Amino acid sequence: MIDIDLSMVNWARAQFALTAMYHWIFVPLTLGLSFLCAFFESIYVRTGDKQWQSITKFWMTLFGINFAIGVATGIILEFEFGTNWSNYSWIVGDIFGAPLAIEGIFAFFLEATFFAVMFFGWNRVSKRFHLFSTWMVAIGSNLSAVWILVANGWMQNPVGMLFNPETARFEMNNFAEVVFNPVAVSKFVHTSSSGFLFASLFVLSISCWYLIKGRHLQMAKKSIIVASVFGLLSSSFVAFTGDESAYVVAQKQPMKLAAIEGLYKGQIKAPIVAAGILNPDKKPGDHQDPFLIKVEIPYLLSLLANRSLNSFVPGIDDLVYGNEEQKIESIASKIDKGKAAINDLTQFKQAKKENNSQKAEISLANFRKNQEYMGYGYLNKPEEAIPSVAIPYYAFHIMVALGTLFPVIFAAFLFYALKDSLTQKRWLLPVGLISGLLGLIAQQSGWVVAEVGRQPWAIYGLLPVKMATTNLTAANVQITFFMFLGLFTILLAAEITILLKQIAIGPDGGPLK
Amino acid sequence: MISNLDYATLQHLWWIICSIVGALFLFLTFVQGGQTLLWQVAKTDLEKSLVVTSLGRKWKMPFTTLVLFGGALFAAFPKFYATSFGGAYWVWMLILFSFIIQAVSYEYRKKPNNLLGSTVYELFLFINGSIGVLLIGAAVGTFYTGSNFTLDLYNRVTWDYTLMGINLRGLEAAFSLFNLSLGIFLVFNARVLGALYLLNSIDLSSTPDLESRLRKSPWNNFLIALPFLLYVLVCILFMKGFSVDNAGVVSLVSSKYLSNLLAMPFLLIMLLAGIILVLYGVLSTSFKKSNKGIWFSGLGTIFVGLVVLILPAFNNTAFYPSKLDLQSSLTIFNASSSMFTLTTMTYVALGIPVVLVYVIYVWRLMDSKKLTVAEVVDEESY
């Protein structure tokens, strides 16, 4: 068995979490703000009203500041798979590398090429070509999200591939299955629509600040109308796709669903926990109540997970220790089969090296019997298959609560904006002001649910994270971790101070002031 | 037609595609080269703004091309991606850091309340253009000189080069005069290209001092780059190379790269044409007042880049050799993705010409008018 430095694994995980979470501050804004800029500019081109050009340029300036740091924090993520997760890169590069390459070819060049026109082309190209370029940047940004989420979706639900024992890695055998993976599809629509929602909240926040300060009132009101409409549409889409995402998680990653619901004992007609506090002493397999307090909605989890009120939803204990009645195999059994598969694979590789074809054939036949459990063979005990429960549970409930609040905020702002009475609703403006921050919390929570809930797997059910790392000492990763922490924090601080100053300066259109 | 290509053809094709992307990146390092010229050629705020704004309109192109280079290698040659990035950890980390700090510098340099001050962002640009390009050159140099890794039965990489008890994880590439020379050549070649690009892109009629400094720059930097290029070329002609036989066994063979050049004369022609084009671009700009030198030297750089990347990989050569265990060396055959993935990606690559067409169209559209002082003063600038 390969000797693994566990502390390195944890530092590598921490570093990926750090860099991904920093990156995800800026990316959802890019996804949504690019479309909002396109909307603003479309109105300008259609009406010829210079006020809308001024509004477009103002939000474009903030978009540009955010875009730069989004790019800066993004480059490391692609290469981190190689530097910190080289075993993963080799084992699944055949499949995982393809969407990353396609992202580079089709999305990044679209963004990079038309970004220059968007910012510097106002007097160099026609009005319509400029608008076209702004739309291309929006489409390019979101196309990038398509491919990165195809890659991420594959990690959550590996499809379209076979394991090749000769090379001891996974190889693609169906590109369409990888691209149209249900997890990838639901992930993309949910993630991109939540990005639109966040960007709408960002516009709302800054516009509210102007209304509170009594500055740039016309620009603020117009921005709020567009952002509220976009935000409301996005919210309904987020809710719809969120439901679909939960259904797909229940079908493909039942352990993740059990963790985000704090469900230990599986149930027929399972209720959903609307709110509750987890019992910190609860251990898998014991008889303690998982919750100190909770509020439940009957039947809803069964409905969410299986589209059926009377269906069974497995809990953590069922998934770990097995449930004969529901025909759920225990992790211990899977571990045994997995260890046998690893042993047979090693025998096969050795026999191939020794040119012993008979032994190779027998080992391969034995390996085939258990190969689907191979990943479990790297786990030391059944409980290792359980992700953290508290982190995804609380993150999920925060995300859902905020996601429920946002459409109410958008509806209120749209209603009063259309009545032109926003400035009289002094109680509403602070709510709008902090809504951007709430949007950011919801964004981060969503990814915490997705990624912490995936643990301990790098590829769900096939490759645990501890087997995916580079053969590297923890010290190397610790140093780069703190280098990233320091650098990204400084750059974030710089971005915030620049943004605040630009907001204080406001739009350059005189008549709007 | 693509589905009829055999595995070896696909492996060669994908190395060519990766090499084209890599060579295009080397051309686009005119941005990095320009960054290192900033303090040297631009003495006033206005001159600096002209230089930074001109480069700033293109900075995403080399950045995006580098990301694509990484993505293409990941998809087509995952064992190389895993071995090199995971093994030569510190080289790649430092390269990436230099690109992270570049990405924010254009946008933030002149913005009020930018926390660090414009000089720090200019320093970031300098670091990216100098150390970043140098390390990329040193990393490419290891295609010829080899690296200190071994692969186990499951292709897990172990890197072993220690100095005073510290595993340098690839930084030792800088101890090789060959690698270092290739890196220094690329840095100064980027400076040549940077000056040529700026002369082509900026309307210098109202900044004669800037023009005069820029016009001297290509020749001066070429003279510095030349001995390093010559050293690299002479070494390539005479050094031992990592040959692989039909059974996949790797061995050291004298003058392997010379024999590769002779076996693939198109590379020899491309190399000579590349050097002549670079030289023509430099001479026509520095001595004939032409502003079109970037296109000649740029094309020349692409040719030279293609030769540097293809030469150590074709004609049965290990492109990522191991100095510790020859049989761990990577070839385009043992490092590539499966035939299915390469075929699929080849269909995808059919879209690349479309991308190239719109990139060139937009470039021409945006650069049909030179950048003027009025634009920098009155409109959007960096």
pLDDT tens readout for residues A233-252? 999 999 999 999 999 999 99
Q: Are residues A302 and A451 in the same domain?
A: no
Q: Does residue A511 sit within a domain? A: no
C-alpha A63, offset from chain centre: 21
Rounded to whole angstroms, the Cα distance separating B261 from B245 reads 18
Question: What percent of chain B shows pLDDT beyond 70?
Answer: 99
Instruction: Please list every residue in chain A whose beta carbon sits closer than 8 Å to the beta carbon of residue B369.
Output: 124
How many other C-beta atoms lie within 10 A of the C-beta of residue A347?
A: 18
Mean pLDDT for B53-78 is 95
Direct distance between the N- and C-terminal alpha carbons of chain A, in angstroms, rounded to an integer: 69
Report the domain count for chain B: 1
CB A225 within 8 A of CB A417: yes
Q: Are residues A394 and A496 in the same domain?
A: yes
Would the pLDDT of A505 be above 90? yes
Q: Are residues A167 and A277 in the same domain?
A: no
Is some CB atom of chain A closer than 8 A to the CB atom of B377?
A: no
Q: What is the pLDDT of residue A353?
A: 87
Q: What is the pLDDT of residue B3?
A: 85
Report the domain count for chain A: 2
Chain B (132-191) residues lying within 8 Å, Cβ to Cβ, of chain A: 152-159, 167, 169
Q: Are residues A85 and A40 in the same domain?
A: yes
- The answer to whether A97 contacts B81, with C-beta atoms less than 8 Å apart, is yes
Q: Is B260 exposed, middle or buried (0-12, 13-18, 19+ CB in 10 A)?
A: buried
Q: What is the pLDDT of residue B154?
A: 83
Q: How many helices (H) and strands (E) does chain A have?
A: 16, 8
Is some CB atom of chain B closer than 8 A to the CB atom of A76?
A: yes
Strand segments, DSSP code E, in chain B are: 149-151, 157-159, 162-163, 166-167, 241-244, 250-253
Q: Are residues A409 and A449 in the same domain?
A: yes
Q: Are residues A450 and A302 in the same domain?
A: no
Q: What is the pLDDT of residue A135?
A: 98
If you measure CA to CA, which chain B residue comes closest to A101? B71
Q: Nearest CA to CA, how far is B226 from chain A (Å)?
A: 32
Is some CB atom of chain B closer than 8 A to the CB atom of A171?
A: yes
Based on its alpha-carbon atoms, the radius of gyration of chain B, rounded to whole angstroms, reads 21
How many other C-beta atoms lie within 10 A of the C-beta of residue B288?
A: 9
Mean pLDDT for A84-91 is 95
> In a 3-state reduction of DSSP, which class is residue A81?
helix
Q: Does residue A467 sit within a domain? A: yes
CB B34 within 8 A of CB B197: yes
- The answer to whether A476 contacts B169, with C-beta atoms less than 8 Å apart, is yes
| H/E run at residue B333 | none
pLDDT tens for each residue of A248-275 = 999 999 999 999 999 999 999 999 999 9
Q: Which residues contact B335 (CB under 8 A, 6 or more apart)?
A: B77, B78, B79, B80, B83, B319, B320
Q: What is the pLDDT of residue A511?
A: 38
Q: Which residues pair with B158 in a beta bridge?
A: B150
- The answer to whether A172 contacts B92, with C-beta atoms less than 8 Å apart, is no
Chain B (51-80) residues lying within 8 Å, Cβ to Cβ, of chain A: 53, 57-58, 60-61, 63-64, 66-68, 70-76, 78-79
Q: Are residues A145 and A202 in the same domain?
A: yes
Q: How many helices (H) and strands (E) does chain B have?
A: 17, 6
Residue B62, preceding bond cis, omega within 30 degrees?
A: no
Instruction: Using pLDDT thresholds of 50, 70 and 90, give the confidence band for residue B379.
Output: low
- The answer to whether B169 contacts A472, with C-beta atoms less than 8 Å apart, is yes
Chain A (450-489) residues lying within 8 Å, Cβ to Cβ, of chain B: 470-473, 476, 480, 483, 487
Q: What is the pLDDT of residue B382?
A: 75
pLDDT tens for each residue of A289-343 = 999 999 999 999 999 999 999 999 999 999 999 999 999 999 999 999 999 999 9
Instruction: Using pLDDT thresholds of 50, 70 and 90, give the confidence band for residue A513.
Output: very low
- Residue B104 — left, alpha, or beta (φ > 0 → left; ψ -120 to 50 → alpha)? alpha
If you measure CA to CA, which chain A residue comes closest to B54? A120
CB B294 within 8 A of CB B196: yes
Q: What is the pLDDT of residue B7?
A: 96
Would the pLDDT of B380 be above 90? no
Q: Are residues A119 and A12 in the same domain?
A: yes
Compute the mean pLDDT over every residue in chain A, rounded to the nearest whole number. Answer: 94
- The answer to whether B68 contacts A81, with C-beta atoms less than 8 Å apart, is no
Per the listing, tokens 């220690």 go with B162
Is some CB atom of chain B closer than 8 A to the CB atom of A279?
A: no
Q: What is the pLDDT of residue B377?
A: 84
Domain that holds residue A92: 6-258+389-505
Rounded to whole angstroms, the Cα distance separating A339 from A347 reads 12
Chain A (79-118) residues lying within 8 Å, Cβ to Cβ, of chain B: 79, 81-87, 89-90, 92-98, 100-106, 108-117
Mean pLDDT for A139-162 is 95
Q: Does residue A498 sit within a domain? A: yes
Q: Nearest CA to CA, how far is A114 from chain B (Å)?
A: 8
How many other C-beta atoms lie within 10 A of the C-beta of residue B381?
A: 18
Q: What is the pLDDT of residue B153?
A: 82
Mean pLDDT for A344-354 is 92
Q: Are residues A226 and A188 in the same domain?
A: yes
- The answer to whether B159 contacts A123, with C-beta atoms less than 8 Å apart, is no
Q: Does residue A366 sit within a domain? A: no
Instruction: Please list every residue in chain A whose beta carbon sits closer than 8 Å to the beta carbon of residue B121.
Output: none
Mean pLDDT for B102-123 is 95
Instruction: Please list every residue in chain B whose beta carbon sits closer than 8 Å to the beta carbon of residue A100.
Output: 70-71, 74-75
Q: Does residue A416 sit within a domain? A: yes
Q: What is the pLDDT of residue A5?
A: 65
Would the pLDDT of B48 be above 70? yes
The encoded tokens of residue B107 equal 């946008």
Mean pLDDT for B281-310 is 96
Mean pLDDT for B55-70 is 95
Count the alpha carbons within 13 Å of A394 in the hemisphere toward its beta carbon: 9
Compute the mean pLDDT over every residue in chain B, rounded to the nearest whole number. Answer: 95
Domain that holds residue B207: 2-378
Would the pLDDT of B295 be above 70? yes
Q: What is the pLDDT of residue A512?
A: 37
Would the pLDDT of A400 be above 60? yes
Q: Are residues A248 and A276 in the same domain?
A: no
Q: Nearest CA to CA, how far is A375 from chain B (Å)?
A: 15
Question: What percent of chain A shows pLDDT beyond 70?
Answer: 98
- The answer to whether A121 contacts B112, with C-beta atoms less than 8 Å apart, is no
Nearest to B61 among A100, A112, A476 (CB): A112
> In a 3-state reduction of DSSP, which class is residue A281?
coil
Would the pLDDT of A6 be above 80? no
Q: What is the pLDDT of residue A510?
A: 40
Q: Which residues contact B280 (CB under 8 A, 6 or more apart)?
A: B293, B296, B297, B300
Rounded to whole angstroms, the Cα distance separating A142 from A159 reads 23
Window from A3-12, A129-138, B162-171, B211-220 with minimum mean pLDDT = A3-12
Is some CB atom of chain A closer than 8 A to the CB atom of B1?
A: no
Based on its alpha-carbon atoms, the radius of gyration of chain A, rounded to whole angstroms, reads 25
pLDDT tens for each residue of B15-45 = 999 999 999 999 999 999 999 999 999 999 9
Q: What is the pLDDT of residue A117?
A: 95
Nearest to A78 among B71, B112, B365 (CB): B71
Q: Does residue A513 sit within a domain? A: no
Would the pLDDT of A2 be above 60? no
Rounded to whole angstroms, the Cα distance separating A368 from A266 reads 31
Rounded to whole angstroms, the Cα distance separating B20 from B3 reads 22
| H/E run at residue A178 | helix A175-179
Nearest to A90 among B57, B82, B349 (CB): B82
- The answer to whether B92 contacts A124, with C-beta atoms less than 8 Å apart, is no
Mean pLDDT for B48-64 is 95
Q: Is A34 exposed, middle or buried (0-12, 13-18, 19+ CB in 10 A)?
A: buried
Instruction: Please list every residue in chain A whose beta carbon sits closer than 8 Å to the beta carbon of residue B83.
Output: 86, 90
Q: Nearest CA to CA, how far is B103 from chain A (Å)?
A: 5
Q: Are residues A218 and A282 in the same domain?
A: no
Nearest to B365 among A125, A167, A346 (CB): A125
Is some CB atom of chain A closer than 8 A to the CB atom of B357?
A: no
Cα separations (Å) of B227 from A235, A381, A382, B139, B221?
62, 61, 63, 20, 11
- The answer to whether B104 contacts A69, with C-beta atoms less than 8 Å apart, is yes
One-letter amino acid identity for A337?
Answer: K
